[in-house]
């Protein structure tokens, strides 16, 4: 029995392309460019068996063609979205994705909001969440509204607390600065911010991270906590802040305009 390894491959400005490896086989998630993946495969002596795509943005899929040039015939599993031309299989909510090597069974979770067809893959103790949930943050709503995005985050929040969040970008340091501005008394957040500063100073990734730590630190998963309710009420008024969608929309708006 070989154990499985999660390898975040830094790419482009601040993306992570994820490899899940077992023995000498791996799957690749969201290859926004091919060269760093090809280098990682060589360095780790890995042969890819499958590509998983969470959404159509170029910084998540533009490396597929380059990988197929080296590994022709790799299955490419993607959401139902014609903007992903390289897909060989399209999957919808609740569908199972079985992979032989690395041995893994994923369930597809539709999480629209960042884009209308965004999906997550949950399995093997991991959730590949693309640009919907980041550590201590969430994605921008390019093709969705606050209720749609919040419902997607609620679905991810229901996964087991020990699930490891694998997200598409290294945004955690900036996310911590914003989170502290709306959740100032949160000790767990202060400790996470300290840990993140240390990791980034060493050039190390801040993910994967357990969902239970996100519950304690991520303001977008904490819209129902007294701390976020209080911050929101101060900003938009107590009556408006009674509505959790209004609280989420306020948080997302504040983050869009936030400069540390």
The count of C-alpha atoms lying within 13 angstroms of the C-alpha of 220, restricted to the half-sphere facing its C-beta, is: 30
Active site residue 215: no
Catalytic residue among 30, 56, 118, 131: 131
The count of C-alpha atoms lying within 13 angstroms of the C-alpha of 151, restricted to the half-sphere facing its C-beta, is: 13
Kindly state whether residue 30 participates in binding Zn ion, applying the rule CB under 5 A.
no
Residues within window 110-139 making contact with Zn ion, judged by CB under 5 A: 131
What is the total count of residues that contact Zn ion (CB under 5 A)?
2
Q: Which residues contact 202 (CB under 8 A, 6 or more apart)?
A: none
Q: Which is nearer to Zn ion, 55 or 192 (CB)?
A: 55
Catalytic residue among 30, 57, 118, 183: 57
Active site residue 56: no
How near is the Cβ of 258 to Zn ion at its closest, in Å?
A: 19
How near is the Cβ of 1 to Zn ion at its closest, in Å?
A: 35
Q: Which residues contact 236 (CB under 8 A, 6 or more apart)?
A: 246, 250
Q: Which is nearer to Zn ion, 167 or 193 (CB)?
A: 167
Q: Residues for the chain: how many in total? A: 260
Active site residue 131: yes
How near is the Cβ of 134 to Zn ion at its closest, in Å?
A: 11
Buried b / exposed e over 178-203, threshold 16 CB at 10 Å, is: bbbebbeebeebbebbeebeebeeee
Active site residue 57: yes
Catalytic residue among 30, 56, 118, 169: 169
Catalytic residue among 14, 80, 81, 114: 114
Distance from C-alpha of 166 to C-alpha of 153, rounded to nearest angstrom: 14
Active site residue 169: yes
Active site residue 14: no
Helix 244-256 with 172-182: angle, nearest 10 deg: 130
Residues within window 48-67 making contact with Zn ion, judged by CB under 5 A: 57
Strands 133-134 and 126-130: unpaired
Catalytic residue among 60, 98, 154, 243: 60
Q: Which is nearer to Zn ion, 10 or 125 (CB)?
A: 10
Distance from C-alpha of 37 to C-alpha of 192, rounded to nearest angstrom: 29
Which residues belong to the active site?
55, 57, 59-60, 114, 131, 169
Contact positions vs Zn ion (CB under 5 A): 57, 131
């Amino acid at each position: 029995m070989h154990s499985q390894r999660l390898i975040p491959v830094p790419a482009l400005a601040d993306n992570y392309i994820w490899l899940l490896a077992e023995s000498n086989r791996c799957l690749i998630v969201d290859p926004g460019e091919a060269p760093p993946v090809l280098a990682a495969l060589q360095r780790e002596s890995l042969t890819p068996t499958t590509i998983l795509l969470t959404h159509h943005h170029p910084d998540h899929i533009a490396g597929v063609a380059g990988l197929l040039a080296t590994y022709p015939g790799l299955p490419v599993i993607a959401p139902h979205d014609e903007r992903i031309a390289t897909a060989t299989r399209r999957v919808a909510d609740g569908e199972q994705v079985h992979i032989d090597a690395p041995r893994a069974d994923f369930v597809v979770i539709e999480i629209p909001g960042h884009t209308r067809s965004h999906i997550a893959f949950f399995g093997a103790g991991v959730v590949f969440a693309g640009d919907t949930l980041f550590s201590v943050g969430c994605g921008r709503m390019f093709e969705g509204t606050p209720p749609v995005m919040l419902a997607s985050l609620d679905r991810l929040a229901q996964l087991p607390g020990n699930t490891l969040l694998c997200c598409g970008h290294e945004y955690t340091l900036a996310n911590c600065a914003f989170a502290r501005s709306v959740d100032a008394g949160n000790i767990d957040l202060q400790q996470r911010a300290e840990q993140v500063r240390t990791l980034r100073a060493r050039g190390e990734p801040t993910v994967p991270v357990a969902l239970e730590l996100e519950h304690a630190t991520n303001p977008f998963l904490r819209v129902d906590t007294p701390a976020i309710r209080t911050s929101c009420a101060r900003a938009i008024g107590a009556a408006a802040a009674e509505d959790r969608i209004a609280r989420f929309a306020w948080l997302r708006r504040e983050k869009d305009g936030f400069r540390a």
